[in-house]
Amino acid sequence: MRYYIGKVDGLRSSQIIELGGLVEILVLKHNGKVYASQKECIHAGASLARGIIRDHCLVCPAHGWAFNLETGIDETGQAEPLEKQVMFPVSMEGDDVYVDF
Ligand code: FES
């Protein structure tokens, strides 16, 4: 299902957004693009809300796994080969931003 999450200029660099009263996701804005991730880290469930973005990756504050913003793959190589962070598709229509969940 597609959810409207706001105007691109109104989004912060990192924020938690609730989709349809069902689930909270982490929305990131980096270099003018918007990304959406499961808010809990796949490693041990830490909140990624305080993660930082480095080298186009979302770095978990707990143990430093670094998830590529496009693919969700842990670029530190510590995750199992098929294990990756869930990144939700983001689309834009003009200034309006949508997430598919
Ligand atoms: S909980 Fe995120 S790297 Fe461990």
91's enclosing H/E stretch is strand 90-93
Q: What is the mean pLDDT of the chain?
A: 97
CATH number at residue 48: 2.102.10.10
Asked whether 61 and 71 are in contact (CB, 8 A), the reply is no
Which pLDDT score, from 0 to 100, does residue 8 have? Answer: 97
Count of domains for the chain: 1
Q: What is the pLDDT of residue 83?
A: 96
The DSSP symbol for 9 reads G
Domain of residue 67: give its range.
2-100
Question: Residue 87 pLDDT > 90, yes or no?
Answer: yes
End-to-end CA distance of the chain: 5
Write out residues with Cβ below 6 Å of ligand 1. Answer: 41, 43-44, 46, 60, 62-63, 65
Q: Which of 30, 23, 56, 26 is nearest to 41 (CA)?
A: 26
Question: Where do we find the tokens 């918007």?
Answer: 34
Distance CA 63, CA 81 (A): 18
| Predicted pLDDT at 53 | 97
pLDDT over 70, % of the chain: 100
Taking only the tens place, the pLDDT of each residue in 44-64 is: 999 999 999 999 999 999 999
Residue 69 CA to ligand 1 center (angstroms) comes to 16
Question: Which atom of ligand 1 is the closest one to the Cα of 60?
Answer: 2
Q: Which atom of ligand 1 is nearest to the CA of 61?
A: 2
Whether the model clears a pTM of 0.85, i.e. scores above it, the answer is yes
